[in-house]
């Protein structure tokens, strides 16, 4: 997967960078997922997906803090199966939303999907998540169907959205 280089402190780039999501990141996902209402699948599942199942991949957006530590600000988890790329998770902390982080994450997934031979991309999104739906519309997705009672806590239907990959 091709990712943006890690910025040097004075190179004029933004204050975050993209990197591959690794099994070691599994314990960092839960706080973000809880805040943006994604269903946390458990650290062991994320580790297994990223270690053992080659069709799964992910990327993360990381901010360099003043203490020379990296802080997760967003991530994406996807899988490529035959001609289909499925976006499984995309989350960005609210204070980093509408700053291009989600766009960089999703475009990285599109590139990796194309590299793996995918021609279409799918995802599910809560019908009530208007911000996410508008974000996906802005990236060329359209509604392809509905999954009844797909989500729990609370129970809610999902839109299935799809996009052709160029």
Please give the helix or strand (H or E) that residue 43 lies within, else none: helix 43-52
Say what the pLDDT of residue 1 is: 54
Q: Is residue 71 part of a domain?
A: yes
Q: Is residue 4 part of a domain?
A: no
**Looking at the predicted structure, is the pLDDT value of residue 10 above 70?**
no
pLDDT digits (tens, 9 = 90+) for 72-100: 999 999 999 999 999 999 999 999 999 99
How many C-beta atoms surround the C-beta of residue 81 within 10 A?
12
Q: How many domains does the chain have?
A: 1
| SS3 category, 154 | coil
Contact between residue 89 and residue 77 where contact means Cβ atoms under 8 Å apart? yes
Say what the pLDDT of residue 14 is: 60
**Looking at the predicted structure, is the pLDDT value of residue 35 above 60?**
yes
Say what the pLDDT of residue 136 is: 97
CATH number at residue 28: 3.40.630.30
Q: Is residue 140 part of a domain?
A: no
Question: Which domain range does residue 36 map to?
Answer: 16-118
Q: Is residue 152 part of a domain?
A: no
Q: Give the whole-number percent of the chain exceeding pLDDT 70.
A: 91
Say what the pLDDT of residue 12 is: 38
- Main-chain dihedrals φ then ψ at residue 55, nearest 5 degrees: -75, -15
**Looking at the predicted structure, is the pLDDT value of residue 55 above 90?**
yes
Taking the C-alpha atoms of residue 140 and residue 135, their distance in angstroms, rounded to an integer, is 9
Say which range, 25-29, 55-59, 64-68, 144-148, has the weakest mean pLDDT: 64-68
Say which range, 75-84, 117-126, 132-141, 147-156, has the weakest mean pLDDT: 147-156
Q: Is residue 78 part of a domain?
A: yes
Nearest to 21 by CA among 52, 55, 56: 56
DSSP 64: E
Q: Is residue 112 part of a domain?
A: yes
Q: Is residue 145 part of a domain?
A: no
Q: Is residue 127 part of a domain?
A: no
């Amino acid at each position: 997967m091709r990712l943006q280089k890690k910025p040097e402190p004075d190179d004029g780039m933004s204050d975050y960078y993209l990197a591959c999501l690794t099994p070691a990141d599994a314990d960092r996902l839960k706080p973000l997922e809880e805040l943006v209402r994604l269903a946390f699948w458990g650290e062991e599942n994320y580790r297994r997906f990223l270690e053992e199942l080659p069709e799964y991949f992910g990327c993360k957006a990381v901010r360099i803090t003043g203490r020379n530590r990296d802080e997760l600000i967003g991530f994406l988890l996807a899988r490529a199966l035959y001609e289909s790329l499925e976006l499984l998770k995309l989350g960005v902390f609210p204070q980093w939303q509408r700053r291009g982080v989600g766009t960089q994450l999703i475009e990285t997934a599109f590139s990796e999907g194309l590299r793996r031979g995918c021609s279409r991309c799918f995802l599910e999104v809560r019908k009530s998540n208007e911000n996410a739906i508008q974000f996906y519309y802005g990236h060329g997705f359209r509604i392809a169907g509905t999954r009844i009672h797909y989500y729990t806590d609370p129970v809610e239907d999902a839109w299935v959205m799809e996009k052709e990959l160029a």
